[in-house]
Amino acid sequence: MRIVRAALAAVNYVTSAIADATYLALAGGTLSGTLTVPDGTAAAPGVRTTSEAHGLFRSSATAIALAAAGTEAVKFSSSSTTIPSAALYTWLGRSKISSSSDGTVTLQNAAATGFTALLLGGATNAYPALKRNGTELHARLADDSAYTTVCATRFQYDGGGTLVTDGGATPCGIFRNAGSPEGVITAAGGSLCLDTTNSTAWLKANPTGNTGWVEIATL
C-alpha cells in the first residue's frame, strides 16, 4: 500500500501545476539545476517532438546535432557548423548556397534558376559587386548604377576575338583577328585591332559598325 501511495503521489505532482523540491510542474516552474537527457541518435533524438523524429541529439564527443525526420540536418561543434553534403543553405524566399563537390560553391536565387550578384561589403555605390549577366561576369557597383574598376597586373586573353573592351553595346577596346578587321569586327571609333595573320595593327575611324578600319602599322 505504501508503494502504491508513493507512486500515486509522484503522478499527482508531475501532472499537476504544482511543483515542490522534488518535482517540476508541467506548466510553469523553474529548473535550478542541470537537465540531463539521453544522448539519442538522429533516428531517436534525446530531445524530440511527439509526432516525428525531429529533435536534438549528441552526434559525437565534441558535437551536438539537430535531426529532421530522423536524419542529421546540422551539426554544431566549438570549431564548425556542418550540414549534409547534399543540403542547401537557404534564406527563406531568397538566395541559396550549395556545394556539389569539394572546392566548389554554387550561388542561386530562391527558384534555383539563376543568380544576380554578389555584393562585397554593402549594397550602395560605395561598394563593388560581381554581377551575372547571362554567361558573362560583370564588375559593377553594388547598387548596379555603373561599372567599377578591376585592377590586376595582367589580363589574359580567353581565346575569342576580344582582348579588352569597355563592355558597351558597340564596344571600344582592343581586338584581335586572323586577317583584316574590315567588315568583320564591330567596334566603336578609336578601337584597335591586331591582325595576327599579317602582323598589322588597325585603328577604327568609323564610330559604329564593322567598317572604317584603317591600317596604321606593321608589327
One-character DSSP codes across 32-70 = -S------B-SSSBSEE-SSSS-EEEEEETTEEEEEETT
| Burial of 12 (C-beta count, 10 Å sphere; 0-12/13-18/19+) | exposed
pTM listed for this prediction: 0.62
Q: Regarding predicted confidence, which is higher, 94 or 29?
A: 94
What is d(CA 52, CA 69) in angstroms, rounded to the nearest whole number? 6
Largest CA distance in the chain: 114
Average pLDDT, integer, range 183-206: 93
Average pLDDT, integer, range 66-90: 92
Q: Regarding predicted confidence, which is higher, 106 or 151?
A: 106
